[in-house]
Structures are given as structure tokens and as C-alpha cells.
Structure 1
Amino acid sequence: MSTYRQLQEIRLYYKFRSVDVDRYTINGNYQQVMLSAREFSHSQLPQAARTWVNQRLTYTHGYGLVMSPVNSVTSDGLPELYIKDIPPVSQVNLQVSQPAIYYGEETDSYIFTGTSTPEFDYPLGDGNAFTKYQGKGGVPIPSIWHRLAYAYDLGSIQILISNYFTNSSRIHYYRQIQARVSHVAPFLRLDSDPYLAIINGRLQWIVDAYTVSDRYPYSEPVTHTQNATEFLQEGNTKHFLDSNINYIRNSVKVLVDAYDGTMRFFAIDETDPLLVTYRKIFPHLFEPPANISPEVKVHFRYPQDLFKIQAQIYLAYHMSDPEVFYNREDLWRFPIQVYEGNEQMMQPYYVIMRLPEEANAGFILILPFTPVNKDNMVAWMTARSNGQDYGKLLLYEFPKQKLVFGPRQIEARIDQDPQISQQFTLWSQAGSRVIRGDLLVIPIEQSLLYVEPVYLRAERGELPQLERVIVAHGKEVVMAETLAQSLAAIFGGVQPEKEVPSAAGETASLAKSALETYQKAQRSLRQGNWAEYGRYQQELEKILQQLDRSN
């Protein structure tokens, strides 16, 4: 987030509120990306510029977004930006035809469009570009009586006496997307993380909505479970702690257009009895699943808030033996990791990977488990977000007789590695702050791969740069400049035993095979298919060894 802000906020009044994670097919490759909307923040205007005209008529919207892949950086350790700048410049096959953001996460005030005052659109050279709103959003206020009503309702005499209004003027309010959705459907509980998507060239917000109840028979409220407060407060899920809900279904997806504020409520779980009732009360509010276009559906993801609640309940309810359950003999907990020098509870995260015994990689949400009072890994749970498999939960347990290192143990091994520890000390002595990012746990067949980025930031600076990537697998811990180098060091240590080719034709064939294998490995790396990447690295090592022997 801080890197995006330093590189791409462009002007002091723009703000990146949050970074979202999604996946796109980019230039033919299925990739995971990070993206963030560049919204306008009136609170960041200089005090002298906070006039009524500026805040209500001139500065009406944000502009564009920034997008970068999750697994690629520049040679300077900064994000490789797929979409950047104002107006948006795209380096890939994703184009934004309407970059203006009138409705978003930061837009918490009302504004007017269609007035005689030009709207600021974006900075252009030494000046500014201006625009007039052409959308259907907002409420028309063509007469003095409309303005009188809003002046009274909003407590602003300026709405009544201003001479900037015309017959085509419109007022836009409830522009904050969660507040907007809540005013239409207050009976739905909303996810804490709306996310941005580029759909047919337009910027659209996707909001996960839940039906909830605290009266489901024989169901334990999530707030009564162990460490619920600690886990749900981290990651902004604390709004579920103010009630004793014991029933929750992600039955509705809401699509909000960032330009005109149009909302579409899609019923994605027509078997939910609460949603069935709401649809009878509001027959025109919810659209059936058949109305969801493929371009929209491909961006649906399993929501983190729901997954966290389900994982929280499962800490105890994975025990199927009544006696074991009663005695709480096999309680689990969420792992502890080191983030920016502090220990904290690990949160679920999205990743593209191929699950064990699956043919293709998919976009999944994943979270590991460890036993209570121990740090070794016992299981990991995942939720799928692709096509017909959307919403399926899977649990992978490790054999109880086998020790599998957990995140806290891996963090300790990183701390104890003499080369890594020495490098951290040298950076700190040179005046840089070492920032250890989120530790990712990536299952590969019957083992685990751990990946942790290492950033450097000057003591008085705000721009962190990716300096190293730590990878741990089995008993190996490696730190290198790039993820590819770390993975090559981990998986490239196989010593092959094959016949040495003698003919020149065989040598040429091996060279071609090495190039093809390298290209396959890089493609697997971009797609997040770690198992395939490791296999290709081992295969490449064998080919190179054969080439070396043939010379």
C-alpha cells in the first residue's frame, strides 16, 4: 500500500484506500494481481481549498487505478505496474474505458454534477483537465423546490442560494459503496472488504453480502468460540463481534458501478431460506443467477469474512469423536507469524495454485492450522473460487506421526540462519529498516513451501523496496534476490545420473530441450503453479548436467 501511495497517488488529494487481490487472464496467462482504486479524498485538500464549491461542485471524483502482478517486480525492487498513471496507461490487454470514480470506499460526502462549474477530471501537465458528468447516477434537482428539500435535509443553505445549478443538475449521495448497499438492503450484513474489478472496460465494485441470524437451533455463536475476538478483530472482521450470530450464508453478490452508482443484487444461493423470504418481500430487488454474465462471474471470489468465521468454528468442530470433543483433546488454533517485526495471528490469503491431485491451477483462499500450545502444522483449509467448484471447502490433514514445520517454526529457522541473520544486521547498521512481509504457506503435493518477502525502507523514507525473497522447503532455507532464484536454489540441487551423450546432434537437442523446459518453468511460476515449477526446475537441472558432461 505504501509503495502504491508513493509511486502512483500523483497528487496530494488522491488516496489508495486498500489493495485488492483478484485474478485475470492477461496476455493469455492466468495471473493473480493486486489492484487499487485512485480515489479523491477531500480530507487531504489544503485547508484553504476546502470551499463549498470545491468540495461539492469541482472535486467530484477519483480517477483510475493501479494494477501489478503479485509475483513480479522491477530491477529496483518496486512493483511492475500493469496499469498506472493518469490517464490510465495499460501495459497489458486490459483497458479502462471509464476511469472516473464517483462511487467508492473513500467517497463519503455528497456532490453535485451538471452545474455551471466544470468538474476537475485529472491533472494535465502544468494545468488540469475538466469534464462534465455524462452518467445516469444521482437524483435530478431541476427546480428550486427540489433544492429547498435537499437544503433542509442536508442542512446547507448553499444548496438553495447558489447560482451554479442548472436544469440538468443532479445530486449524488450515499456514494460510499457499503453505506449505499446498506441503505437499499439493511437486512443484509456486508463483507468488510469490497473489491474492485475491471469488467468490460468499466470499474465495478463487488460486495459480498450475507444473510445472518442469531436464532438457529443448536448452533454455537461464533463469538463464544476460543480466541474469536483476537482472530476476528485482525483483518477488519470485528463487525461480526457485536452480535451473537450463529447462522451465516453468502447468498448475495452486489455489483456497484464506480461511475454511476448502479447496484445489481445477484442471488447466488437460492436455497437459503432467509433469502427466499426476502425475495418474496422484495420481488424486484434480487436478480437470479442466470442474469450473471460470465464477465462478472469470473471475478467472484470466496469471501474472507465468511471463511474466517468457518475456520474459527472448525478449530473445535473438526473433532468427530464425542469423547475427544468433550475433553477438548485435539483443539487447533491459527498459526503465528512475524510481520514487520511483530508476532501476529496469520490471516487467510488468496493464491493461484494447483491443489493435490488436481489437473489445473485455481484461485483459492487458504489458511493453515496448528495444535493449541504447539507450533507444528497439522492441517490446512482451502476455499475454491473457480467455476463449478466455487464455494467448495477442502481440508488437508497431515499424518499425526509426521512433523511438518508450522509458520512460527519457519520464522524461527529464518532467524537462526547465520547468513540471513548477518545480512539483516548489515542492512540495519546501514540505516535501513528491514520489513519482513506476510509468510505464505504453499502446499506442494505432500509437502509445504514457505515464501516470505523481505523489504528495505530507509529510516526516514516511506518507499519500501523488495530486496530479497526467502523460501523454505523441507530442511532448506534460502534467501535470494528474486523468487525465481530462491526456488531454483531450493529445487535445483538434484544430481542426475544419466548417460553422457556424445553426438553433436544430441547436444543440440539437449540445448533446445533446456530452453523449452526453462520456458515451461517460467510459465508455471507466473501462474503460481509451484509443484510444476519445482518439477521443471529439477528437469532443467538434469538437462544442464548432461550438457556439461557432453562438452
Structure 2
Amino acid sequence: YTFPDVLDVDRYVIDGKPTDAVVAVRELDLNSVESGDTWNNRRTVYTHGYGMVAAYGNQRLPNGEPVFVSGGIPTVGTLPEHEPRIYFGERTDYYVVVGAPEGADPVELDTPSGGENRSESLYTYEGVGGVDVGNFVTRAAFAIRFGDINLMLSDRVNEESRILHNRIPAQRVQEAAPWLTVDSDPYPSVVDGRIVWILDAYTTADTFPNSQRVDWTQSISDSRTAADRLLLGQQVNYVRNSVKAVVDAYDGTVTLYEWDEEDPVLKTWSKVFPGVVTPKDQISPALLEHLRYPQDMFKVQREILGRYHTTNPNTWFQQSDIWQVPNDPVRGSGQTASKEPPYFLTIRWPGDQKAHFSNTTVFVPKDRENLSVYMAVNADATSDEYGRMRVLKLSDAKQIAGPGQTYNFIQTNPMVADRLLPFNRQGASASAIFGNLLTLPLGGGLLYVQPIYTQTTATSGSYPALRFIVVRFGEEIGIGDTLQAALDQVFKGDAGADTGEQANPDTPVPPSGGEPVEVDAQERARTLLNEAETLLETADAALREGDLGAYQDRVKEAEAKIVEAAKALDEG
């Protein structure tokens, strides 16, 4: 199984409160099939992925792992009950043959250990997706189309077989309505008992009068959306998010919902193809909760705003007040640099009493590095203010560091360097990985927040675990095991905000809600001893550098961790 490199952000109501969650579906990775790599296995056994995984966007376990809302095989957690099988996904770029006569033994691998005595669990597809290839003519036609004689020869293809092809959600939407431009960021959600892919779709044109033409590919390309995956050379000067598309992950059903009821282009296409687009009032409340502001259109809008925000003719003519999207400082520099992507975050705008799920971005002046503008759009489709775009223009009198400057400042800060020294030196057993650099409005200013992960280098199959949080406000930097600890460093113990993180990680929030679940004493002790080992490595490095003060501080901290570990074992 595999997960995408870039995960998605969605919202679910958990314990009565809207909660941001990081989500992904578990898809098959045929490249990892090492044994039994036969036609039967590739086309009839490894047919589908399994399960939706969701984790809290603002919580972690003591060892740095996520706190899951839902996950595992079989799926457990607080997400609504749903069909877990993924026959249509972002990695399903190959066809499979499914279905069998009634009473036949199933052959599709469902879960690796879901059967009796943790044996393989097998399954037979029961959906209506795909094309019936039970008759000779249809089977022969597909054999010719795919250049695959095995469709004619294999005994796995029977009178009840169906072939599932064109299984990538964006591809299915594009083929259902080729007159739409599909967003580059599909995301999965659990809606009405099904896992579905939600895609924004646009009506576009390049002949709209008195409108600036832009290159669609260049406008939406950033550090998370590779240009080589996009439609090259498409020029547009008219864009409307007219359609919300939904693709069922089990049977591939494509439903196109009208979203912009006033778009004349959509109205025209709907007359040409009546019945293809479902009226907006047919969107269920459950689906509406998961719709969000379109990502690609927001990228185009921020590019246009960067040039057309000025109202002074002289300034416009001289092009002296252009805003630019800064490069993502974490992922490449120089020739490999690419624009920082927008981020979906729940933020409270200055002066507001309530936080809103938003899509956010920042600007710097052209050819400069300091921060000039913070911009956000209300991305919650259930809100009356959905689509409201707001801009926070920073003072020209005092420059505020931009993302690139802040990233460099964090990396060269002695306090941060001291905490990361065990992971950055040659031969270290684990390496440090910097996460997304986020910008948040706070207390009349802007706060930078960056997670730092560590990953074991000597073990195959290891994955990053959240280790530190770094924050910057003005010229102050803080680093801690939690966001609260980092904020308290910056604001001298008076952050004026409670992040909700637990000071004592013995009782983390469980993924299924309800009462806190005690962490196993041995696991707690193991975590503390690992932290002590890291502190001692830091102390040794400080001693080699001749910094006796730092050496003594780290040793004392390590001793405290060891004492705490021993106490945990005694109490356990």
C-alpha cells in the first residue's frame, strides 16, 4: 500500500466541533509487488486499495506520531461508517478485471491480515462500475484496445466479469465533461457512507473582452504541483468555479453539481448537454460540509491581484508596486525554486470573534524578500461569508521578514541549531526534516510556525515523526516539543493563548474520542529515554565546542528525563 507524498486537509465534526484533519486514502502500489508478479495478480487480485486515514491537524502522541481520527485495517475511529474499498484513485492508472459468478470463491485481495487467524481476506466486487466483458465481442474489443491477449485467454475472465479502466478521478471528470478544466488537487472525503473524491471544475475561456490573459499552468504551478503534470500552454482570461465534481471511489460514478448558478458559460453547456450537470440544490448537507474554496482558482486570483491591486495610474505604469508570491524556502532554491503554495488553515482574522476555515497566502514586493501582504479567503462552503477575500497590508515603515528570510533565520538561530545538532552531524542515527513554514495572524502581527520532524536513517521503512515546533514573532524565536512550549518561549510564558496541547503526554487524546487512554508505561519510559539520549548527544556536541554552560544544562535535562522514565516504570 502507499499514500500520496502531499496529504489533503478536510474538516469533520468531532465531539460536536468542526475539526481540521489531515486525510488520505490507502491505495495499492503495484511497484512494491515483488513476488507473484503475474497477469492474474496484477489484473484480478491487486484490484483495490483499502481505507480512509485521518489524523488531527493539531495533535500528536508523545513519540511524535499523529493522533488518528480514523485509520487501520479494518478501519476504526470516529469517521462515519463507510465503504472502505478504493477502486478509483489517484494511483489507479491501470485496468483491472473484477466480478465473479454467484458462489465462486473470491480472488481479490481485500486486506493482508483481515481473515481467520490474521490470514489474507479476499473479496469479490459488487458494484456497478466498469464495463461488462462477459461476452466474447466486448472482451475481444478490450483485448485489442489494450493490446492484451490475456483478456481472451485467462480463466479469471468469466461471464460476470467487469473491466474497470480510466480509474483516475480527474480523468473521469474530464471525460464526462471535456468542456471543463479540472482542478489539480482532488481530495477524498467520507460522504453519506461512501469515500468520494471531490474535485473543483472550471469553465474557462481566453476571449473574454478587456480581461488579462494568463498562462494557466504557470499560475497554478508551485512547490506541491509539478508543472510537468499540468496541461501546458492553456491561456485563460475567464475562470469560474462553476462545478463541484464528485467521483465515487468504489464504483467510479461521476456526479457534476452546479455551483455557480449565474455563470453564462455553464448555462450554455447545460443546454448543449442537458442532464449532465445536477442542480445545486441537490447537493446534500453532508457533501456541502466538505466542499471548499477552489485551490487553483485562488492561485490565479492571487497572481492577478499582485499586479492589479493598485489604483494609481502612475504606479501601474511604472510597475513599482507589484506583489509576488515568494518561493517556498523549504523545497529548493535557485533554479529549483518554485512558488510557495497556499495553505488551508483555520484562522481568526484580526478583529473577528470567530475563526474560519480559510485558504491563505502571502506576498513579498517584487524582487525583494520582506513580507508585504497577508491574504486569506473564507473556504468554508457552509459559511455565509464563503468566498470573502481579505487582504492585510503591512506597514511600509517597518519591514517584516518574509518566508525566505525567516527560514534562514530559523536555521542559523543558535538555540535551534543546538536542539538539532544531534540530527545534523555526520553519522547521526536520525536526520531532521523541516516541514511547511506557515504564517498566521496573531495579536496585531504575523506569527511564523514551522514543524521539524526527525526520521531514523538506519532503518528501512521508517517515517518522519514530529519532534519540535519552531515559532517566530518579530525578532523572537522559540523552539519546543509543543507549540505551546515554543509560544511560551517567545512570549516569556505569557502567550495569551492556549493551544489545547497537554502538558503531560501520559494521557493523549484517543482517536475514537471519549475518555483519555493511558499510554503504556514502557512506551512512555522508552520515549523519555530516547529524549534523554538525544539530550546527551547534544551535551557531547556542546562539550566538543567548548560550551560548558550548554553541556551542563543538557546533562541536567537528560538526568531529569531518566528519573522520569524510572518513575513511569515504577508506577506502571
- Which structure 2 residues correspond to residues 156-235 of structure 1 after superposition, within 5 A? 156-223=148-215, 229=218, 232-235=221-224
Partner of 1:478: 478
State which of 377, 382, 387 in structure 2 corresponds to 1:383.
377
AA aligned opposite 2:466: L
AA aligned opposite 1:260: D
The gaps in structure 1 that reach 5 residues or longer are 1-8, 497-516, 527-551
User: Does 28-37 or 133-142 show the bigger shift?
Assistant: 133-142
**TM-score with structure 1 setting the length:** 0.82
State which of 346, 357, 379 in structure 2 corresponds to 1:352.
346
**Cα drift, residue 285 of structure 1:** 0.4
CA 1:236–1:417 in 2, change beyond 3 Å: closer, same or farther? closer
CA 1:40–1:427 in 2, change beyond 3 Å: closer, same or farther? closer
Partner of 1:20: 8
AA aligned opposite 1:328: Q
**TM-score with structure 2 setting the length:** 0.79
Secondary structure of the structure 1 residue equivalent to 2:139: helix
- Which structure 2 residues correspond to residues 247-396 of structure 1 after superposition, within 5 A? 247-339=238-330, 345-386=339-380, 387=382, 388-396=384-392
**Cα drift, residue 325 of structure 1:** 0.4
**Cα drift, residue 444 of structure 1:** 1.9
CA 1:204–1:149 in 2, change beyond 3 Å: closer, same or farther? same
Partner Cα distance (2:431, 2:341) in 1: 24
Partner of 1:68: 55
- Which structure 2 residues correspond to residues 106-117 of structure 1 after superposition, within 5 A? 106-115=91-100, 116=104
Partner Cα distance (2:439, 2:3) in 1: 31
User: Is the 1:17–1:106 contact (alpha carbons within 8 Å) kept by the matching residues of 2?
Assistant: no
Can you list the C-alpha shifts for 1:43-92, whole angstroms capped at 9, x where unaligned? 3322x5232211222221111122111211111112222222211121xx
Partner of 2:553: none
Partner of 2:144: 152
CA 1:207–1:519 in 2, change beyond 3 Å: closer, same or farther? closer
State which of 51, 55, 62 in structure 1 corresponds to 2:38.
51
**Cα drift, residue 107 of structure 1:** 0.9
Secondary structure of the structure 2 residue equivalent to 1:112: strand
CA 1:472–1:438 in 2, change beyond 3 Å: closer, same or farther? same
Partner Cα distance (1:167, 1:220) in 2: 56
Partner of 2:70: 83
- Which structure 2 residues correspond to residues 340-489 of structure 1 after superposition, within 5 A? 345-386=339-380, 387=382, 388-429=384-425, 431=428, 432-461=430-459, 462-489=462-489
Number of equivalences: 486
**Cα drift, residue 122 of structure 1:** 0.8
Secondary structure of the structure 1 residue equivalent to 2:257: strand
Partner Cα distance (1:281, 1:230) in 2: 30
User: Is the 1:336–1:346 contact (alpha carbons within 8 Å) kept by the matching residues of 2?
Assistant: yes
Partner Cα distance (1:340, 1:237) in 2: 12
User: Is the 1:368–1:381 contact (alpha carbons within 8 Å) kept by the matching residues of 2?
Assistant: yes
AA aligned opposite 1:139: V
**Cα drift, residue 149 of structure 1:** 2.7
User: Is the 2:222–2:339 contact (alpha carbons within 8 Å) kept by the matching residues of 1?
Assistant: no
User: Is the 1:440–1:450 contact (alpha carbons within 8 Å) kept by the matching residues of 2?
Assistant: yes
CA 1:112–1:426 in 2, change beyond 3 Å: closer, same or farther? closer
Can you list the C-alpha shifts for 1:113-135, whole angstroms capped at 9, x where unaligned? 21355211111155310111111
Partner Cα distance (2:500, 2:55) in 1: 22
AA aligned opposite 1:234: S
The gaps in structure 2 that reach 5 residues or longer are 503-508, 510-572
**Cα drift, residue 255 of structure 1:** 0.5
Secondary structure of the structure 1 residue equivalent to 2:453: strand
CA RMSD between the two structures: 2.6
Partner Cα distance (2:71, 2:124) in 1: 23
AA aligned opposite 1:423: R
User: Is the 1:365–1:382 contact (alpha carbons within 8 Å) kept by the matching residues of 2?
Assistant: yes
**Cα drift, residue 359 of structure 1:** 2.6
AA aligned opposite 2:414: P
Partner Cα distance (2:346, 2:495) in 1: 30
**Cα drift, residue 219 of structure 1:** 2.0
Partner of 1:543: none
CA 1:151–1:416 in 2, change beyond 3 Å: closer, same or farther? closer
CA 1:269–1:341 in 2, change beyond 3 Å: closer, same or farther? closer
CA 1:340–1:280 in 2, change beyond 3 Å: closer, same or farther? closer
Partner of 1:30: 18
Partner Cα distance (2:368, 2:11) in 1: 35
User: Is the 1:17–1:36 contact (alpha carbons within 8 Å) kept by the matching residues of 2?
Assistant: no
CA 1:494–1:349 in 2, change beyond 3 Å: closer, same or farther? closer
User: Is the 1:456–1:467 contact (alpha carbons within 8 Å) kept by the matching residues of 2?
Assistant: yes
